[in-house]
């Protein structure tokens, strides 16, 4: 019994010594973080929801011109690299003359497009409208009015997807389906394509080049799709505009879109730039290319 008690005391003493020599071991074990595990349902809920209707979304995730040209698409090359590699096919501006081109994306939209057309007619300015095929099919009279009043038409896809996320067949279908609709309304297949969100892969660009298209982005971004005020839209344009500029604005948007800023700023932009000695032309005129293929 004596030795048994003495052994127990030795064990207690030994345990105390160990605790004193290695004080962090037990606390580390006790405080080690437990890896949280999400259920499949929780993981699904944490994934951001995609846009409900990209076909009529004004603007884009890529329309910030300060980052646009340096954004890598899924094929590896940045847009800036594509622009340098295919300078005759992919354009963001024209020759450095005192001419500029107004462009309007995501048309036709009966809420905004007629107001823009009224202003352009009043000031005798010809612009370029990049048409979404599904919208042209729904509002053909507005496309016909654009043509009748002397504006140029470009292809902006059928329902505004991000091209780099599409298989080649789907990408080609977006272009061909829209140009067939435009041909019915305008009498020609447009040479100009503006990729939704300004983004395209090299493989898609090669296909467009081989089929006689010209890709047109921009070098002045009004950022009007953000619902900016008249002064903000006007200042965004005037701060960056110059010789041969291609200006990005919107003539259509999604549910709840607010484009009054771009509508209200347009007369001032036209007046100010004319006073500076600039002439407004269509993109085909600016680039000296045919409006049709």
Encode pLDDT of 137-161 as tens digits. 999 999 999 999 999 999 999 999 9
pLDDT band at residue 52 under the 50/70/90 scheme = very low
pLDDT in tens, 55-70: 455 454 344 443 455 5
pLDDT at 72: 56
Exactly one of 139, 156, 160, 250 is catalytic; which is it? 250
Token digits for 83?
Answer: 């622009």
Give the residue numbers spanning the domain of 273: 97-287
Token digits for 30?
Answer: 């006790």
pLDDT band at residue 42 under the 50/70/90 scheme = very low
Mean pLDDT value of segment 110-131: 98
Residue 176 lies in a domain: yes
pLDDT at 76: 79
Tokens 């009015």 correspond to 145
Mean pLDDT (the chain) is: 83
250 among known catalytic residues = yes
Q: How many Å separate Cα 82 from the centre of its chain?
A: 16
C-beta separation of 157 from 163 below 8 A: yes
d(CA 175, CA 154): 10
Judge residue 10's burial from the number of C-beta atoms within 10 Å of its C-beta, 0-12 exposed, 13-18 middle, 19 or more buried: exposed
Exactly one of 53, 105, 109, 199 is catalytic; which is it? 105
Residue 69 lies in a domain: no
pLDDT at 59: 53
163: CB partners within 8 A, 6+ apart = 157, 171, 174, 195, 196, 199, 200, 201, 204
* Whether residue 40 has pLDDT greater than 70: no
pLDDT at 12: 45
pLDDT at 101: 99
- Looking at per-residue pLDDT, the higher value among 72 and 131 belongs to 131
139 among known catalytic residues = no
Residue 186 lies in a domain: yes
pLDDT at 15: 53
Residue 107 lies in a domain: yes
CATH number of domain containing 178: 3.20.20.370
pLDDT band at residue 31 under the 50/70/90 scheme = very low
Residue 23 lies in a domain: no
- What total number of domains does the chain contain? 1
* Whether residue 37 has pLDDT greater than 70: no
Residue 128 lies in a domain: yes
- Kindly state the percentage of the chain with pLDDT values over 70: 74
């Amino acid at each position: 019994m004596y030795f048994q008690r003495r052994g127990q005391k030795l064990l207690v003493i030994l345990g105390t010594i160990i605790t004193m020599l290695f004080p962090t071991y037990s606390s580390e074990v006790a405080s080690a973080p437990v890896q949280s595990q999400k259920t499949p349902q929780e993981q699904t809920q944490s994934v951001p929801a995609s846009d409900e209707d990209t076909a009529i979304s004004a603007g884009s995730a890529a329309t910030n011109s300060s980052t646009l040209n340096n954004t890598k698409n899924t094929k590896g090359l940045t847009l800036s690299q594509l622009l340098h590699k295919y300078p005759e096919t992919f354009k963001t501006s024209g020759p450095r003359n005192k001419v500029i081109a107004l462009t309007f994306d995501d048309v036709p939209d009966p809420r905004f497009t007629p107001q823009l057309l009224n202003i352009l007619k009043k000031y005798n300015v010809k612009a370029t409208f990049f048409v979404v095929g599904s919208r042209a099919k729904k509002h053909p009279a507005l496309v016909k009015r654009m043509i009748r009043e002397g504006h140029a038409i470009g292809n902006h896809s059928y329902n505004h997807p991000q091209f780099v996320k599409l298989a080649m067949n789907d990408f080609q279908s977006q272009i061909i389906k829209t140009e067939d609709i435009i041909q019915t309304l305008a009498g020609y297949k447009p040479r100009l394509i503006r990729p939704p969100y300004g983004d395209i892969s090299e493989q898609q660009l090669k296909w467009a080049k081989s089929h006689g298209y010209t890709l047109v982005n921009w070098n002045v971004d009004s950022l009007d799709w953000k619902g900016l005020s008249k002064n903000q839209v006007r200042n965004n344009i005037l701060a960056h505009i110059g010789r041969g500029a291609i200006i990005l604005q919107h003539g259509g948007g999604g549910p709840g879109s607010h484009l009054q800023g771009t509508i209200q700023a347009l007369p001032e932009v036209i007046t100010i730039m004319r006073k500076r000695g600039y002439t407004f032309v269509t993109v085909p005129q600016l680039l000296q290319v045919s409006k049709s293929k």
